[in-house]
Structures are given as structure tokens and as C-alpha cells.
Amino acid sequence: MKMKLIINGKEKGLECEKVSDLLNKLRLNKDIVAVELNKSIVHRQNFDDTKLKDNDKLEIITVVGGG
Amino acid sequence: MNDGKLKIGKFEFNSRLIIGTGKYANFDIMKKAHEASGAEVVTVAIRRVNFNNKEENILEHIDKNKMTILPNTAGCYTAEEAIRTARLAKEVGLPKWVKLEVIGDQKTLMPDNEETLKAAKVLVKEGFTVLPYTNDDIVACKKFEGAGAAAVMPLGAPIGSGQGILNPNNIKIIIENAKVPIIVDAGVGTASDATIAMELGADGVLLNTGVALAKYPIRMAKAMKLAVESGRDAFLAGRIPKKLYASASSPVEGVVR
């Protein structure tokens, strides 16, 4: 079943149970991202057992060029 | 002469140049410029993943055997945002240190020292090695030192402006009174700017735009490497005092007449 997630400020309808499912669906390499779920950090080792629910707010960040 | 390493908290480096990863035309030029610079520390920024633009990640273009990655909190306008960004950077797997930057004005990118100090205190407590970016102001620098910053990074001139070291006297005063390394950050437009910072006694120089947007970034990176080394050597060598009048270098006796 699809649920509503707010990812990086944008609403997305996705079918995924856990954080790791979401990253797979978005084709993101888990080694180069960090995830906040409702403003709390989800550690990489917990991606597999952190469940998502309707209306969850996620921040998925990575490293970019900067000074 | 044996010049010690640049020590920032538990980090140690032979090179005193810290270089950015922003604004390069492409990753290939960036990588070559990094090599030419001899830098052992590169700064990066932390941003939301861009789902519309799936280009390669910058981490694939940084030689992690040679470089230590220093995340920044650029773009943050509050202590809370900066703290969040630093924590996320650690979570991506970067070393537990941060170029702490909290901006207070959009046009000048001048730092908000009050917010930066708040963030510094929290992050120091959490065990981060904190390198705050601040004004060329002795009072601000002392406050950061007191808050446990491992190094303090006063600006030479506004970020990306390339104006050089606008107030060398202020930088000198900061250096003379500091117990932690002082790294001049921002404003370095060309090699001589980096040399001036090092001649003043700075422990290092951090720059990005001066190399990334130079017409030939790889050559400028090499120039910056030599400039930092020259400035450091000149500082350690001890310059002669300035005199108003000339003093002949050749013997004044025995001139053929």
C-alpha cells in the first residue's frame, strides 16, 4: 500500500516499509547518505529495522562540493 | 628548517593549505587541482539529495587515502541548523570535525558570531573538533577559543570576494594572542594573498573560489601551494625590519673611480 512521505520537503507517494526499502526505491547508495526521520537521525545500522508510516517527514542528505 | 605539522585537535597535517570542492567546472579539474595543491584537507558541504539530478557523488572524486574531508555548515543561518548539519555530516561517515559556519547576512555572507558560538558550545560538548569561521575580530576569536574550538578561522575578506587580507593588523593581533591554530579562511584571491596570511604567522589558509574559478585552476592550485609554503618559510625566517632610507648591499669602500 502506498503511503504519503514528505521527503526533503516534497510529498511523495511510495510503497515502502522501512528506511532501507525507501533508499532502494530511490536508488540511493546508503553509504553516501544520512537520514533524519521526523528530525531524529536514523543511524545507518538501523536503516533495515526502522519502519515508516504515513506522513513521516524525512531528510535525506549527502555530500556536495563546498568551501 | 624543521617546521612542525599543522595540528588541529587530534588531526595532523604536513600541508597548511585547506582547499574547497565547490564551483569547479568539473570533477576532473577539481581532482587535478587538489593534487597540484598538495592539500591534505578538503572541505565539502552537506545538502539534501537532489532526486532530479543524479550525477556522480563528489566523494568518488576525492582521494580518501591522501585527503581528510572537512564538512562545513555553509548556508546555515541558525545555530540549530548548523548543529543539525554537523551531526548529519558525521552520520554520512565523515570524520567528527566541522568547519562551523553560521551566516548572518545574505549579501556579505558575514558570520553571525552569536549563533556560531552557540553551535560551537553544543558541538564541542558532543565531541566534535570544531573550527569556527568568524570575523577578523580578536574578541570573537577569543570567545571561540574559550568555547573549546580546536582552531579559529577568521576571514581575510568576504567569502568568494577574492579581495585578499583586508585587515592584516587584525589578523596579526589574533595570531599573536591565540593559543589554538589560526587559519585564515575566505577572501584569498591569488597566491600573494595566501603568502601574506602565512607571513603574518597564520597556521594555515583555507580557500576555494580563488582556485576553482581561476582561469586555469590546476596552475592556480600549484601557485597556492607554493605561496603557502613561501609565506610560512618567510614567517619562520624572520623578516628584516622596514627602514625609511636605503642601506647599500655592496661594500661602500673600494669602488673604482
pLDDT of residue B256: 94
Q: Within a domain: residue A42?
A: yes
Is the whole-model pTM more than 0.95? no
* Residue-number span of the structural domain to which A29 is assigned: 2-62
Q: A1: pLDDT confidence band, cut at 50, 70 and 90?
A: confident
Give every CB contact of residue B169 below 8 A, 6+ residues apart in sequence: none
A66 touches chain B (CB under 8 A): yes
In the block, cell 532502494 appears at A24
The domain that holds A38 is classified in CATH as 3.10.20.30
The one-letter code for the residue type at B249 is S
CB contact under 8 A, B23 and A61: no
Enter the C-alpha cell of residue B178: 591565540
pLDDT digits (tens, 9 = 90+) for A10-34: 999 999 999 999 999 999 999 999 9
| Chain B contact present for A27, CB below 8 A | yes
A47 inside domain: yes
Q: What is the dihedral of CA B15, B20, B25, B31, to 10 degrees?
A: 40
Does A67 contact B21 at a Cβ distance shorter than 8 Å?
A: yes
Is position A34 within any domain?
yes
pLDDT classification of B161: cutoffs 50, 70, 90: very high
Average pLDDT over chain B, rounded to an integer: 96
Instruction: Write out the three cell numbers for B201.
Output: 604567522
Does any domain span residue A16? yes
Query: pLDDT per residue over B3-31, tens digit each?
Result: 789 999 999 999 999 999 999 999 999 99
A67 assigned to some structural domain: no
Number of domains observed in the structure of chain A:
1
B75/B83 Cα distance (integer angstroms)? 12
Flag whether residue A32 sits within 8 Å of chain B, measured between CB atoms: yes
